[in-house]
Chain A
Amino acid sequence: MNYQGQPDNSDVEALQNLVDDTGYATSLAAIPNRIVSLAPSTTEILYALGLDSKVVAVTDYCNYPYNFTAWIEAGNMTSVGDFENPNMEVIASVSPDLILATGGVQAELVTTMRDLDYKVLVLDPPSVDGVLRDIELVGNATGTRDTTMSLVESLRSRINTVAQKVANAGSKPKVYYEVWYDQTSLWTAGSKAFQNELIEKAGGSNIFVDQDLDYFQSSAEAVIERNPNVILLPATGMGSGELFWGSIEAVKERPGWDTISAVQNNKVFQVDGDAIARGGPRVVDSIEELAELFHPELF
């Protein structure tokens, strides 16, 4: 079937039992036609499933696959405001029949929206598998199960291709992923962070994998001591796109960093900071991007 046509029985059944990442079960009476996306990751999933015409509002941080800021300024898309604090009145004014939200900062808002009888799915995937499951969930909720299945299959096979390639690699580079750096502090990703799994799947090993945390303040001293072979610096396309780390040259010139293997061997890389941080289909782009940086000889 296609989602503009009549749903078949299995699609209707799927609509009635939508269990999201918080374990909350939602039932939809019909395939939704007005969808609000409260996170860049959910926006990316909706557009990857070809639901362009059904998305009625996004956040100010959504910047992929289209330049939504320009659409919003031209009056062709509604903005619910920023991701931490979406405007409830704007959400209500577009009369959505499905809202895709995320966990953490939006938890309270989700409760409010459900109290007001909105249909809300919370997508907060803890892993790459979780992202694939969430894509399937959105497929079930929007009557796009065929499109979804082929998308998930292609994502799986791309992940497997990378896995097979890096399995032949002679070595596993030690990787430092930077979350934040300024004169007062340095933040990085531990074993509970999403980036930790992406680094592993790309055939690398996070130097802070032994730290049972997600994002945390560490020290330049620990980075120097753990001597990574590769340094990853995220560059976001959100806002002005200014880089907190300045430039690759500036990173290499940080005090004491000249003793780090990655700096000595020119393995300090800018990566797509949006793809690597969002639980959407582009996590696979990110795995491919990292694998090529870690094992250029295999690609």
Chain B
Amino acid sequence: MSKNDVETAYFRRTSRWKLLLVLLIVALVITVILSLNVGYAQIPFANILAIMSKQIPFLSGTVDPSLVLPMESAIILQIRLPRIIAGVVVGAALASSGVVYQGVFKNPMADSYVLGVSAGAAVGASFSILFGLGSVVFGLSLTQVAAFLGAVSAMFLVYNISRVGSRVPVTTLLLCGIAVNFFLFAVVGLMEVIAGDELHAIVFWLVGGFSNVLWRDIWAILPFVVVGIIAVYIYARDLNLMALGEETAQNLGVNIERSKLVLLVLASLITGAAVSVSGLIGFVGLMIPHLTRLVIGPDHRILLPASTITGAIFLVVCDDIARVVATPFASTLELPVGIITMLAGAPFFIMLFRRKKQSYAL
């Protein structure tokens, strides 16, 4: 193959990637707009458009807003929109950190939930709820900071226990993840017992959701998630080299151990930030990178951004389902979104494990 052919192939591939990303972004925007339509209150789509267009400077005035009730405007702008945006941010965070965990551990089962990172965040948050550490530092509540510290500690605990030499085999990783998860949930259980009337706060936190999320919660975590994902993207090439094997990576001049460390801290930072707003939401980080990889292949330069956007779409859709799926039983009944992702995720995990038995190539 001549240099020219390589360049042409590379150009074709990157333009295909760009097209894919544009399509995903369009799909995300459509999902967000359609999701504004999903909820208990029956608000005509024309009114939703009127409410939204009023927020966009050059569109305001194009629609007559006089037909819109203040209640409708409040529901769209202060209940549904922040909720949808929280879904986008949390979904993107969980999916992108899932890509990192799977890439660094070279392990298809790795995910913040399986690795105990989420449980670590839960321990941190429960601890802070129990001891009433409610104060705010840099716009983050101490509960959020504690969640992050718990996430990072749990991840390093599992990583160090399950490491055999420089490799982290699937079996040991899963077993250590399970052991650490049991231990951490026991710690949460212990705190629940002594929590008394703080019990509610801990229990609800363990079943994830973002129904009553505030704009200010979203602004507080957004920088961590955005900067975290961009920083991970810079390391996308290192993730590719890690997939080729550590020796190859070393030969190509990548300081593997340092890259791993940076990537794991970044992924835990992203996870901790997301979990601090939503509580525990399982399996997004496991499923989305796999689904994306099936479609576009293993190159992290496209896998990471594509998974990030797909994760955002997925969690917003799951939250839409959570809002309406129980309404046949009682018209105002909602489910926590964490239950929907778990219902979808557990069978997926089992399927993956069965395939893995017949040799799964990452």
Contact = CB atoms under 8 A, between A and B. Distances in A.
Interface string B66-93: 0000110011011110100000000000
A221 B74 CA distance: 9
Given A224-B79, A225-B75, A227-B71, A213 B333 contact: yes
Interface string A164-200: 0000000000000000111111100010000000000
A166 to B, nearest CB: 26
B330 A222 contact: no
A208 interface: yes
B217 A183 contact: yes
Contacts of A180: 200, 204
A198 B309 CA distance: 49
Contact of A221 (B41, B205, B214, B217): B41
Contacts of A208: 332
Given A211-B330, A220-B212, A240-B196, A185 B41 contact: no
Contacts of B208: 184
B183 to A, nearest CB: 22
B198 interface: yes
A255 B82 contact: yes
B74 A184 contact: no
A240 B330 contact: no
A52 interface: no
A62 to B, nearest CB: 13
A256 interface: yes
A185 B75 contact: no
B332 A183 contact: no
B205 to A, nearest CB: 7
B142 to A, nearest CB: 15
A242 interface: yes
Q: For chain B, which range describes its interface: under 10, 10 to 19, 20 to 34, or 35 or more residues?
A: 35 or more
A225 B212 contact: no
B211 interface: yes
Given A224-B75, A255-B74, A256-B79, A184 B41 contact: no
Contacts of B210: 183-184
B39 interface: yes
Interface string A214-255: 001111111011010000000010111110100000000011
A239 B130 CA distance: 12
A25 B358 CA distance: 61
Interface residues of A, number: 38
Nearest to B217: A183
B214 A219 contact: no
Contact of B333 (A183, A184, A216): A216
Interface string B190-228: 000000111011001101111111110100000000000
Interface in B324-352: 329-336
Given A183-B213, A255-B78, A244 B333 contact: no
Nearest to B75: A221
Contacts of A212: 330
A211 B333 contact: yes
A221 B333 contact: no
B336 A185 contact: yes
A224 B71 contact: yes
Contact of B71 (A225, A241, A244): A225
Contact of B196 (A190, A239, A254, A258): A239
B268 interface: no
A82 B196 CA distance: 9
Given A227-B71, A258-B74, A210 B79 contact: no
18 contacts: A181-B212, A182-B212, A184-B204, A184-B205, A184-B212, A185-B209, A219-B79, A219-B323, A220-B79, A221-B75, A224-B71, A225-B41, A225-B71, A227-B71, A238-B196, A255-B79, A256-B78, A259-B70
Interface of A: 60, 82, 180-186, 190, 208, 210-213, 216-222, 224-225, 227, 236, 238-242, 244, 254-259
Given A180-B204, A217-B336, A225-B71, 19 more contacts: A182-B201, A183-B212, A183-B277, A184-B204, A184-B211, A184-B279, A208-B332, A211-B333, A216-B330, A218-B332, A218-B334, A227-B71, A240-B198, A242-B197, A254-B212, A255-B82, A256-B75, A256-B78, A259-B70
